[in-house]
Amino acid sequence: MTLGAPAEASSYAAAMALLEDRPLVVLTGAGVSTDSGIPDYRSPGSPARQPMTYQQFISGPQERQRYWARSHLGWRRMGNATPNAGHRAVAAIDPDLLITQNVDGLHEQAAPSPAANRRIVPLHGRVADVICLSCRTVSARRDLQARMEPLNVGWAEAHADVETRPDGDVALEETADFVVPDCEICGGILKPDVVFFGENVPKDRVARCTDAVDALATCDGALLVAGSSLTVMSGYRFVRRAAKAATPVVIVNRGATRGDAEAAYKLETGTSEFLADLASRRDSRPESSRA
Catalytic, out of 72, 87, 124, 159 = 124
Is residue 81 within 8 Å of 168, Cβ to Cβ?
no
Residue 209 labelled as part of a binding site: no
User: According to the annotation, is 132 in a ligand binding site?
Assistant: yes
219 is annotated as contributing to ligand binding: no
What distance in Å separates the CA atoms of residue 195 and residue 273, rounded to the nearest whole number?
29
- Taking the C-alpha atoms of residue 110 and residue 55, their distance in angstroms, rounded to an integer, is 33
Does the CA dihedral 244-249-251-255 come out positive or negative?
Answer: positive
Q: Note if 124 is an active site residue.
A: yes
Cβ-contact 211, 144 below 8 angstroms: no
Q: Which residues are catalytic?
A: 124
Residues in the annotated binding site:
132, 135, 183, 186
Residues in the annotated binding site for Zn(2+):
132, 135, 183, 186
